[in-house]
Amino acid sequence: MDNEELKQEIESAIENNALQNALTKFTSAYPGNRAKVYKGYDFEAIREKIHEGKSYAAEHIHELVDEFEKNFNARGGHVFRAADGEAAMEYIRKLAKEKGVKAIVKSKSMTTEEIHMNELLREDGIDVQETDLGEFINAITGDTPVHMVMPAIHLSKEQVAEYFTEYLHEQNNPVILELVRSSRKYMRDKFLNADMGVSGANIAVANTGTVITFTNEGNGRMTATLPPIHVYVVGIEKFVAKLSDIRYAMKALPRNGTAQTLTSYVCMYTGSNEVVVNKETDEKAQKEFHVVILDNGRSKILEDPDFKDIFCCIRCGACLNVCSAFRLVGGHVYGGKVYTGGIGTLLTAFLTSQERAENIQNLCLQCKKCNEVCAGKLDIAGMILKLRTRYAKRDGLNPIHKFALDTVSDRHLFHSMLRIASVAQGALSKGEPMIRHMPMFLSGLTAGRSLPTVAKVPFRDVILTMKQDVPNPKGTIGIFTGCLLDFVYVDIAEAVVKGLNACGYKVEMPQGQSCCGAPATYMGDEDNAKKSAVINIEAMEAEKYDYIVSACPTCTHALIDYQNMFQDDPEMLKRAKILAEKTFDFSKLVYMLGGIPGDGDGVPMKITYHDSCHMRRTMNVWKEQRELLTQTQGVELTEMTECDSCCGFSGSYSIKYPEISAPILQAKINHILETGADTVAVDCPGCLLQIRGGLDARGRDDIKVKHTAQILTEKRGL
């Protein structure tokens, strides 16, 4: 699939009103509802325990599978270990044939979708009936899941009523209770006459031989108990060592998945029991109980140190619920045919389709909000980035992207081009500070957003003429400006210097610094990222400064992260660690230094604050800047809804996927307008570019967008 096909899928999803309404309604309510059900619980402690238990299971998986098989067989069960989907289906088809199975009811299973169970059994003439309501609806429509926990959330009740009317051959009204009754009535006969039940499992417990399902519908229990034969298909990642390990998943899975305190049914099956095999005579027999333990690529995940943490996933779907991209396009676009969203991208890569994963991994904004809510404590965004880097190494980058990154990482060439642009941009800016229209194929850059002009004089020249009157300085700080502060937002860089001067420090700008390398990193170009790292480690000479300051969280994180690039180069690693230890974002550093002297001018300023993704989630800095701002006289802070949600900029993402970036920006602007604030405070120049450009394009230049450094210094008359 090429990028144009993906863009068509995106466009189709965004134009799907039912999908947009459903996803917006659920994802908007989810954060608040989730917070309520976690009240009184320590989520960090819970997910630490989940990660601990699942990590142990991953490290001892072969022992645990052996133990499970021993205990399961001792209780009358049958275990089959399937290396791949073909082996799993051979076992299931053979079993069905030997037992004369004509009808199967199925519940709670993504693994069976992974191995195409329904299609293959239907080829054998077997009636396979999905009994989960969402999966039943998808089966009727010929659809695949749009969400791993709520597979049919993309359909409205009116649409479902139409499908039910056609499929069930009787009128169905768009009333949810009536639709549930219709499906229950239809399913009843299927349950009573099924020869076999098939399920997945949320957890398999080694020391008891127990399989466990969490469900909100009684169909899971009926599938497992009514038919004389039951088959569980369980991936090896579902194992835990002991029964006590499940209590943490019981707390997290429902709260994370659907923001409820507990699922309606928590069912544990340990061994075989008696079941009625003849309804007329009430004859009973021992139930046949089978577990197919599926590998199908999972061992490869375990063997890969970059991705083995995938085994800690409990499939709660929370990463989907908070993802800005998923919120817009759903799992049919951001996903494979089985697994969806961020974690679905990783599972798709290893278990179903490398080709599909290679395309959809680009939809990740790298905002890391998924990491924040993950019950298994996975670095989902980080693993997607590693996947992106591997694909870039294997296949090479898009030639245009590669040319751009090669240019940016060549400091002299890039800076020369920016200086030329500062002169040549007049035809586009028409003397205004914002560029509102770009020509021809570049027009997408200004779709719903104006762009700032390049500064006439870069900050690297300006700082040489700045007077820094700092008597008895406490020390010297090196400033890393990044591209935007150096060549676009010179006023922010000046504010940083003034603020630090007021704190008693002189500021120097090492002239050899270049792009931080983040654009290359986030596009998977490891070579150019490392090239930028070398340039900046050598240029910044962190050894001679008390601190290194940046006013861009992306740059701050990039500088701190350089140390991970030089594990095989002791000398560069030593210098990278020194740089990392001394590097702080402006607000964090000023807070550490005790704040900027002075109380502020007292002139009323109603602000709302937008959290940068890197600032909030990578560096965990969000309280400090709020305290600095609210302790400034005249400043009134009003928090906006979803203050920490992505603004849609994400570096080159807004250029590659304006179809997704623009609606995310619109949502952010709506939240800003709701506050009635006259100023939006930010700590990220990229976010400032996106939000200020969006407000300008909508004629709302009455609302100012300013960096925290600007507000703090301006209010103190610096």
Q: With a cut of 80, say whether residue 424 has pLDDT above it.
A: no
In a domain, 122, yes or no: yes
408 — pLDDT class (breaks 50, 70, 90)? confident
Q: Which of 302, 352, 294 is nearest to 83 (CA)?
A: 294
Q: With a cut of 60, say whether residue 433 has pLDDT above it.
A: yes
- Distance CA(381)–CA(308), nearest Å, equals 14
Residues 615 and 514 in one domain: no
How far is residue 279 from each of residues 188, 193, 272, 285, measured CA to CA in Å? 14, 10, 19, 12
CA terminus-to-terminus distance, the chain: 55
**Predicted pLDDT of residue 339:** 95
Q: What is the mean pLDDT of residues 196-212?
A: 96
569 — pLDDT class (breaks 50, 70, 90)? very high
Residues 574 and 613 in one domain: no
398 — pLDDT class (breaks 50, 70, 90)? confident
**Predicted pLDDT of residue 391:** 94
Q: With a cut of 90, say whether residue 432 has pLDDT above it.
A: no
Domain limit, last residue, from 558, 593, 628: 593
In a domain, 153, yes or no: yes
**Predicted pLDDT of residue 411:** 81
- Distance CA(605)–CA(598), nearest Å, equals 17
pTM, two decimals, is 0.93
Q: 372-401 burial string, b = 16+ CB within 10 Å, else e?
A: bbbbbbbebbebbbbbbbbbbeeeebeeeb
**Predicted pLDDT of residue 440:** 56
Provide the token pair at 535: 């340039």
What digits encode the pLDDT tens for the residues 325-347?
A: 999 999 999 999 999 999 999 99
Identify the residue whose tokens are 């920016």.
418
Residues 614 and 588 in one domain: no
CATH code (residue 58): 3.40.50.10420
Residues 662 and 560 in one domain: no
What digits encode the pLDDT tens for the residues 264-320?
A: 899 999 988 877 777 778 888 888 999 999 999 999 999 999 999 999 999 999 999
Domain limit, last residue, from 572, 593, 614: 593
> Among 128-137, 199-208, 381-390, 442-451, which is the least confidently predicted range?
442-451
256 touches 373 (CB < 8 A): yes
Max CA distance (Å), the chain:
100
In a domain, 165, yes or no: yes
In a domain, 351, yes or no: no
In a domain, 87, yes or no: yes
- Distance CA(101)–CA(229), nearest Å, equals 9
Number of domains in the chain: 3
Specify the length of the chain in residues: 718
Residues 622 and 505 in one domain: no
- Distance CA(161)–CA(468), nearest Å, equals 72
- Distance CA(42)–CA(487), nearest Å, equals 45
**Predicted pLDDT of residue 513:** 96
Q: With a cut of 80, say whether residue 446 has pLDDT above it.
A: no
Residues 538 and 612 in one domain: no
- Distance CA(597)–CA(223), nearest Å, equals 69
Average pLDDT, the chain: 93
Residues 534 and 509 in one domain: yes
- Distance CA(99)–CA(241), nearest Å, equals 33
What digits encode the pLDDT tens for the residues 503-554?
A: 999 999 999 999 999 999 999 999 999 999 999 999 999 999 999 999 999 9
Residues 529 and 613 in one domain: no
Task: List the alpha helices (DSSP H) in 435-563.
Answer: 459-462, 482-487, 490-502, 518-522, 526-540, 553-561
Q: Which of 618, 712, 637 is nearest to 678 (CA)?
A: 637
- Distance CA(141)–CA(593), nearest Å, equals 61
In a domain, 326, yes or no: no
User: Is the alpha carbon torsion for 340, 343, 348, 349 positive or negative?
Assistant: positive
Residues 179 and 235 in one domain: yes
In a domain, 224, yes or no: yes
- DSSP string of 348-372? IIIII-HHHHHHHGGG-----HHHH
CATH code (residue 704): 3.40.50
Q: With a cut of 60, say whether residue 563 has pLDDT above it.
A: yes
387 — pLDDT class (breaks 50, 70, 90)? very high
Residues 611 and 544 in one domain: no
Domain span at 545: 413-593
Residues 76 and 196 in one domain: yes
CATH code (residue 515): 1.20.1050
611 — pLDDT class (breaks 50, 70, 90)? very high
Q: With a cut of 60, say whether residue 1 has pLDDT above it.
A: no
**Predicted pLDDT of residue 422:** 77
Q: Between 526 and 411, whose confidence is greater?
A: 526
425 — pLDDT class (breaks 50, 70, 90)? confident
Q: What is the mean pLDDT of residues 638-655?
A: 94
441 — pLDDT class (breaks 50, 70, 90)? low
**Predicted pLDDT of residue 442:** 60
Residues 492 and 640 in one domain: no
- Distance CA(562)–CA(558), nearest Å, equals 6
In a domain, 37, yes or no: yes
**Predicted pLDDT of residue 159:** 94
- Distance CA(622)–CA(527), nearest Å, equals 32
Q: With a cut of 60, say whether residue 461 has pLDDT above it.
A: yes
Q: With a cut of 70, say whether residue 364 has pLDDT above it.
A: yes
493 — pLDDT class (breaks 50, 70, 90)? very high
Q: What is the mean pLDDT of residues 598-603?
A: 94
Q: With a cut of 70, say whether residue 218 has pLDDT above it.
A: yes
Q: Which of 601, 600, 582 is nearest to 592 (CA)?
A: 582
Ramachandran angles phi, psi of 303, nearest 5°: -75, -10
- Distance CA(316)–CA(375), nearest Å, equals 8
Q: With a cut of 80, say whether residue 443 has pLDDT above it.
A: no
**Predicted pLDDT of residue 3:** 78
> Among 4-18, 401-415, 496-510, which is the least confidently predicted range?
401-415
What is the CA 696 to chain-centroid distance, rounded?
A: 29
558 — pLDDT class (breaks 50, 70, 90)? very high
What digits encode the pLDDT tens for the residues 70-113?
A: 999 999 999 999 999 999 999 999 999 999 999 999 998 899 99
- Distance CA(363)–CA(16), nearest Å, equals 18
Domain limit, last residue, from 567, 593, 619: 593
